[in-house]
Structure 1
Amino acid sequence: MSVEPSSAPGDPLIWVLRDERPGTGNQSLGVAEALGRPYVIKDLRYGPMARLPNMLLGASLRVLTAGSRTNISPPWPDVMISAGRRAASVARYIKRVSGGHCFVCHLMYPGPRQSASLDLVAVPAHDKVAGPNVVEVTGAPHRVTETLLADARATWRDPWKDIPRPLLGVLVGGAGRRMPFDDTDAERLAGQISDWHADAGGSVLITTSRRSGTAAAVLLERLRNSGLEPAVYHAWDSGDDNPYLGILAVANTLMVTGDSVSMLSEACAAPGSVYIYRSPKFASPKHLRFHAGLLERGAAKLSTKITSGEVSKAINPAGDIARMMREKLAWR
């Protein structure tokens, strides 16, 4: 898939190196879309050499499969957006063969040597890394825009038109390293949801993820036992359309488990107020720093006390990176 570049004279040729992992690839696309100019997508497929560290790969295409290498050919771009460790060597190669002409914006820290040969390296502030050409943003860039939310709102308007308001959207991730989310956490989360409902009334919309595990079933059971039936409950393996974007678009309040930087970043782009659920045993330093950054900016609060009608400050890391690119490129 690609968005063909404009034929207008003087328009820059922009490439997006799309990593084969959707989460990483979508970060690049989010920045490209925020840049607001036509771009071409170059899909990356990795071979066995991608397991090697960047210091051994240098500026090369060795991480790519033979088929993927054929897609990297002149004319070389004026601007390129890439993301992830494995794409860094490809980005550096294109920078070199273009004679240094190509401006490279890379997302996520590839290491000091790799960073020095790129033009802009955007990293989450909670990663606490520094180096040549490194800039910090709050959260992870993504593709959730006002247009995407408006489309989702239109898609789900009729199916949800009779659901009593206000709406609480609950985005359930799962456990990770030093980030527990077990049955006890599911019961605690259910209690916080019930407290919200007792105060605000309305309806609850829930979507789960692959990592939610048995805790998702415990959450649903606990809510039903308390007399609260979610108006929407999406199990990740149900095969039904995931209402995730619809929930982001319409919820007055969002509760998000604190394990996913991407999910929290996307929630903070939505119009609803954002609350973070995290286990009392939650101890991931990076994620705690991320949460602290959101709280400091007024973009989210902890879910221990939910106040109906509050408005969170939206954050837009993709837009922030696009703005820094424009400044570096002196685009008007």
Structure 2
Amino acid sequence: MAMTVFTHPGRHRVAVLARAVLLPIELGIVHQCFGQARQGASADGEPLYEVATCSLAPGDVRTDGDFTVAVAHGPEALAEADTVIVLSSYEDYVQESPELPAPLAEALALIRPGVRVASICTGAFVLASAGLLDGRTATTHWRYTERFARLFPRVGLDPDVLYTDSGSVLTSAGCASGIDLCLHMIRRDHGTAVAGDVARRTVVPPHREGGQAQFIRRPVPERSAPGTSAARDWALRRLQDPITLGQLAARESMSVRHFTRRFREESGMTPMAWLTRQRIELARELLEESDMPVEQVAARTGLGTAANLRQHFHAALGVPPSAYRTTFRGPAGGRQS
């Protein structure tokens, strides 16, 4: 009987494909995020995931530092996984050719249909070469987006976002945005409470939207320059109330034009787009953690009506509030919208 890579039945199995030349930070991100996820968002809860690192052949994998990483598993781990994450690599082929080397193509062929597949940084080149991104939206590190677009014209490249989610296939930008992608997958699997607990223990922001810019092109304002944090704090304390752009600007004693420009410099998005996202995040929490009717959720988040909540919620997450609540609380967990 063949030995199995994963040894904890009932846990979601995550296989991480590591190739030379490996960036160790990416490997650490995956293990840290998924390894910290616990049932009930509690340190005493049962682990929700089992993570296994694999390579094209067991053995030492070179890194971009002065050390190697010993990998115990070969590509057979991919055949058992529920989620496969392909890390980036400094191998030239991912940046110069749309063709996959035979050993890598054979390894990817082991992935079962319907398994969730994700990439970090230039790992997107591998997914694109395998045809997994054809007709989908994807991203990769901003430095390589022009080359990616030239090699893979069938992929809808979005060069400005932190990560993309096409359902069963996800991609992230640079290695640090791999944190955002992992938290997003945990949030999708188990809700904001579990993902937020992982973020707190990892000491990172609990949620950065995938559509947020990879980097802000303008220089970060000097620390002595007036910022917009006071306005954001003020808004977060009263999301249920009508909030106008003029009110936000007034909190910082700025003109609307100056405030909007400074807000974009600091956050990479407009003030009202940011405000809508905060309201959607609050709605997610209320849907997960309470039986509050959708009409009350809409009022509590400042989105007004249930119809308005449904519109914004579906635009942001791709599902209506009722389906989202059922996912995390079950059919009896609350009223349907």
Bin of the TM-score, shorter chain as denominator length: 0.3 to 0.5
- Asked which structure has the greater RCO (Cα within 8 Å, sep 6+), the reply is 1
**Greater helix content:** 2
**Greater strand content:** 1
TM-score (norm. length: structure 1): 0.35
